[in-house]
Amino acid sequence: MASSEKVEINKSQNSEMKLPCTKCAGKTIHKVLVSVDVQGEEADGGWSIQWCDDYQIVECGGCKIKSFRNVSSNSEDYYQISETEWEHGELENLYPSRIEGRKTLENEEHYLPSTVRGIYKETIQALSNNSPVLAGIGLRALIETICKEKNAEGKNLLLKIDDLVSKQILTPTGSTILHKIRTLGNDAAHEVKPHSEKQLGLAMDVVEHVLNDVYILPKKVESEFGA
């Protein structure tokens, strides 16, 4: 069996592509700053397989944030898209991972208490890495931590969320949605039933809203107007 490999530096430098950004909403044009493109072939008797693996440092054209893209493909990996057409399969991985259209609290995370910040970051990671069970558990843990931080009373999470409403930390509408996330976390933990990306995204919207109301806004107001 013969195999060969060719490494080219900056072959795809300056090429542009649309990618989701970790900061901007939606997809933006990203430019390749530096690349290492590897191509190879394995051959044995009558057959051969070609593969390529591109490693790129990319920059968002909007906010200029840098991230990493790896895209790999091989000559065996194609699928039929119509009766006569075939398309080559490409596997793309972006680091840090991201979800198109979701802006995180990234620039304001430092306003969160460290306990909440840690769980928030892990939950965002689970969401962007397509790990719905872990994301569900993370969302529930976030609510539990907010309750603990705010000394919510009650012998279970249901009563604690209601107590946040009587403490006027949470609106009744917010609590209705948090109750949904509470049971969502239950399902994820006890029945290992993953929820859809859309449900989890909505749940994260509500939790981010609460985090903003409870921690971020008061701190920003305090630093702007004084305590």
d(CA 160, CA 178): 11
2 to 21, contacts with Zn ion by CB under 5 A? Answer: 21
| Nearer Cβ to Zn ion (103/121) | 103
| Nearer Cβ to Zn ion (37/59) | 59
- Which of 27, 42, 62, 199 touches Zn ion (CB under 5 A)? 62
- Which of 13, 17, 24, 158 touches Zn ion (CB under 5 A)? 24
The SS3 call for residue 180 is: helix
Q: What is the 3-state secondary structure (H, E, C) of 88-128?
A: ECCEEEEECCCCCCCCCCHHHHHHCCHHHHHHHHHHHHHHH
Strands (E), the chain: 2-9, 16-20, 27-44, 47-60, 66-74, 78-80, 86-88, 91-95
In contact, 149 and 115? CB cutoff 8 Å: yes
Q: Give the CA distances from residue 12 to residues 31, 117, 164, in Å, rounded to whole numbers and listed in that order.
A: 10, 37, 53
Does 38 bind Zn ion (CB under 5 A)? Our answer is: no
User: Which one of the spans 63-71, 105-113, 136-144, 165-173 is the region binding Zn ion (CB under 5 A)?
Assistant: 63-71
End-to-end CA distance of the chain: 73
| Nearer Cβ to Zn ion (60/135) | 60
Q: Give min distance, CB of 24 to Zn ion, in A.
A: 3
Residue with tokens 């680091």: 95
Q: Give min distance, CB of 59 to Zn ion, in A.
A: 9
x/- letters, 132..171, toward Zn ion (CB under 5 A): ----------------------------------------
| Nearer Cβ to Zn ion (63/159) | 63
Contacting positions for Zn ion (CB under 5 A): 21, 23-24, 60, 62-63
